[in-house]
């Protein structure tokens, strides 16, 4: 069933919140729905993430084409630095920094795969890196512990938040599943390196 005009309006409003405020998709869709519902009567249907991502890309192309590529490259460099630090936990990058829609307002999301979640905390303690502990929902809807650290990049005016989701080692089997468009939802350390230093074409 094609999206309604209201659903499309929610997707566009959510995209603006994601790009300009750095919100995650779920909260952005819910806030956008409230904004749209306040101007219309009747029920509203939330857009799916694919529709919102399309609006995010369109918004970036229209309003951020000059700045977003530089910001994305900086965020990927920060992500790579942390993935290399935590290489023993098979880190995989996800979210906007992986799929290419990140701006300076975006957080970095990295999945770590651990035999014991405490081992990741111990690693940060040994490196004398301060962190906060939180929780999010994993890709199966289960609660996942998250360690959040802060970093900076010279080309970004704002500090960068890096969220480290702690998954069981056995969850690695689902790490590289593909979305409805056949794209990998996460990238390994090697894949992120390839994004930053692509192999030059021959010929």
CA of 122: how far to CAs of 39, 143, 144, 147, 161, in Å?
50, 21, 18, 11, 19
Spatial separation of the C-alpha atoms in residues 82 and 161, rounded to whole Å: 11
What domains sit in the chain, N to C, each tagged with a CATH number? 5-63 (no CATH), 68-196 (3.30.460.10)
pLDDT band at 199 (very low <50, low <70, confident <90, very high): low
Backbone angles phi, psi at 126, to 5 degrees: -65, -30
Decide which of 15 and 141 is more confident: 15
- What is residue 4's predicted lDDT score, i.e. its pLDDT? 66
Indicate the SS3 state at residue 172: helix
Contacts of 138 (CB under 8 A, 6+ apart): 144, 165, 167, 171
Q: What's the length of the chain?
A: 203
* Paired sense of beta strands 160-168 and 108-114, if any: parallel
Average pLDDT, the chain: 89
- Counting residues of the chain whose pLDDT is more than 70, the rounded percentage is 92
What is the pLDDT averaged over residues 107-118? 93
Q: Is this structure's pTM higher than 0.85?
A: yes
For 34-82, write each residue's pLDDT tens digit. Answer: 988 877 766 778 999 999 999 999 999 999 999 999 999 999 999 999 9
pLDDT value of position 77: 96
């Amino acid at each position: 069933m094609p999206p309604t005009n209201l659903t499309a309006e929610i997707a566009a409003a959510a995209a603006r919140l994601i790009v300009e405020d750095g919100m995650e998709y779920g909260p952005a869709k819910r806030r956008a729905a409230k904004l749209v519902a306040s101007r219309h009567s009747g029920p509203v249907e939330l857009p799916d993430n694919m529709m919102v991502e399309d609006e995010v890309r369109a918004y970036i192309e229209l309003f951020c084409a000059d700045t977003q590529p530089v910001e994305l490259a900086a965020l990927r460099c920060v992500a790579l630095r942390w993935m290399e630090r935590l290489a023993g936990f098979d880190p995989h990058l996800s979210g906007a920094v992986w799929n290419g829609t990140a701006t300076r307002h975006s957080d970095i999301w990295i999945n770590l795969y651990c035999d014991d979640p405490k081992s990741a905390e111990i690693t940060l303690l040994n490196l004398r890196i301060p962190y906060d502990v939180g929780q999010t929902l994993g890709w199966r809807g289960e609660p996942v512990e998250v360690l959040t650290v802060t970093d900076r990049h010279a080309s970004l005016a704002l500090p960068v938040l890096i969220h480290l989701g702690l998954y069981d080692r056995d969850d690695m089997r689902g790490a590289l599943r593909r979305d409805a468009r056949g794209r990998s939802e996460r990238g390994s350390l090697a894949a992120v390196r390839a994004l930053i230093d692509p192999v030059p074409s021959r010929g």
